[in-house]
Amino acid sequence: MEETTEIIVQPVDKSKVRHLLKVALILFIVTIIEFVIAFTMESSPLRTSIFIGLTIVKAFYIVSEFMHLGHEAKVLIWSILIPMLFVVWLIIALLMEGNAILLVH
C-alpha cells in the first residue's frame, strides 16, 4: 500500500471566524466591566451580585460556544442545567443555614 502525505487546505469560513470574534469581544467587554466595577465600587452586596451576574454571562458564552453546548439538542442542555440549578440551590441553602446557626450562638 502506498501512503499519501497530501494535505488538503480548506478555505477559511469567514462567518465562523466572525462569530468567534464576536463571542471573544463580548467576553472582553464583560471582563472590562468587571475590572471597572472592581476598582471603582466599594465592597458591598450589590458589587458581589453584579460580579455573580457577569460571571454567569461569561460562563454561558464559554459553555455555549467553546464547549459547543449551544449547538446541542435542547434535551441535553436541560439535562445539564436542571441538576446544576439544584446544586446551586443546595449551596445557597447550606450557606443560609450555616449563617442562621452562627446567629443563634
Output the pLDDT for position 1: 64
Look up residue 64 and give its DSSP letter.
Answer: I
Determine the structural domain holding residue 32 and report its residue range: 14-71
Counting runs of H as helices and runs of E as strands, what totals does the chain give? 3, 0
Instruction: Tell me the one-letter amino acid at 97.
Output: E
Residues in the chain, overall count = 105
Q: Find the helix or strand (DSSP H, E) in which 49 lies.
A: helix 45-61
Do 22 and 43 lie in one domain? The reply is yes
Do 59 and 76 lie in one domain? The reply is no
Enter the pTM of the model: 0.62
pLDDT band at 71 (very low <50, low <70, confident <90, very high): confident
The number of angstroms, rounded, from the C-alpha of 34 to the middle of its chain's C-alpha atoms is 14
Closest to 20 (Cα-Cα) out of 59, 68, 55: 68
Do 22 and 67 lie in one domain? The reply is yes
Give residue-wise pLDDT tens across range 7-35.
887 778 888 889 889 989 999 999 999 99
Do 64 and 79 lie in one domain? The reply is no
Do 64 and 93 lie in one domain? The reply is no
